Amino acid sequence: MILYDYILSPSCYRVRLFAALIGRRLDLRAVDFHPGQEHRSDAMLALNPAGTLPVLKDDGIVLTESTAILT
């Protein structure tokens, strides 16, 4: 599983914490949210048109809201 992550995001932290608690390994991909605005790049908008983080990608499935990811 790949987590597109911004280290200072509380939503991303929730996903990282939950994965650690259940023993699930995540492949973290740092996104230059500020000041780089990488979350607004074409590649990131292709994953999540809303341009928000976190984004979790696993075997072709893409989840874009922390609550959906945690569920």
pTM of the predicted model as reported, rounded to 2 decimal places: 0.91
Classify strands 27-30 and 2-5 as parallel, antiparallel or unpaired.
parallel
Q: What is the pLDDT of residues 36-67, one digit of tens each?
A: 889 999 999 999 999 999 999 999 999 999 99
Q: Quote the pLDDT of residue 49.
A: 96
Q: Domains (ranges, CATH) in the chain?
A: 2-70 (3.40.30.10)
Q: Quote the pLDDT of residue 70.
A: 96
Q: Quote the pLDDT of residue 16.
A: 98
SS3 call for 15: helix
Q: Quote the pLDDT of residue 57.
A: 97
Q: Quote the pLDDT of residue 34.
A: 86
12 and 66 in contact (C-beta within 8 Å)?
yes
Burial class (CB in 10 A: 0-12, 13-18, 19+), 66: buried
**In Å, what is the CA distance from 64 to each residue of 15, 25, 60?**
11, 18, 13
